[in-house]
Amino acid sequence: MEDIIQEYASGYAMLREAIEGLTEGELRYKPAPDQWSIHQIIIHVADSEMSSTARLKTVLAEDEPTLISFDQDAWANNLGYDLLDREQYLHLFKLLRLSMQTILDNLTNEQIERVGVYVDQGRFSFKQLLVFRVEHVRGHLAQIERVKKAYRGSQSL
């Protein structure tokens, strides 16, 4: 569990490193009309973190709460992600992760096994939900690398 908490804590630094030195053109490049730019990925990661932080806290505070997923494509398409301030959202992500650190550093074994229930996906322990947060950032870091590679490929045509 310590490794998970440590990687969770380093999520902001990993995102920041992934976009370090990129131009606005690289950040706004979309490999295809139906794919996200790096800018949009960053906004999504912060929005997802906002929802997930509330879920994590709910699982720790309430007995087997019902958890609600959000429609990531609806948020990206209807909330004007292209207009939103990427730096504000990176800062929001950082603050959300920091806000959880004291809680995570003091988790008991009982808390790690507490459960939340998604209506559409079933039961998940706090540990499973936290692992998913780490994997979510990993997945989007890989996506950012794919977009960077696609951008470089588009420039060599």
pTM here? 0.93
Token pair 């074994």 in the structure block, residue: 109
How many C-alpha atoms does 57 have within 13 Å on its Cβ side?
13
Tokens coding 152:
């470089």
Q: Which of 21, 20, 84 is nearest to 50 (CA)?
A: 84
Token pair 């997802």 in the structure block, residue: 48
Quote the pLDDT of residue 70. Answer: 87
Q: What is the pLDDT of residues 26-42, one digit of tens each?
A: 999 999 999 999 999 99
Query: Domains of the chain, with CATH numbers?
Result: 2-155 (1.20.120.450)
Residue pair 26/151 in contact (Cβ under 8 Å)? The answer is yes
Which percentage of the chain shows pLDDT scores above 70? 99
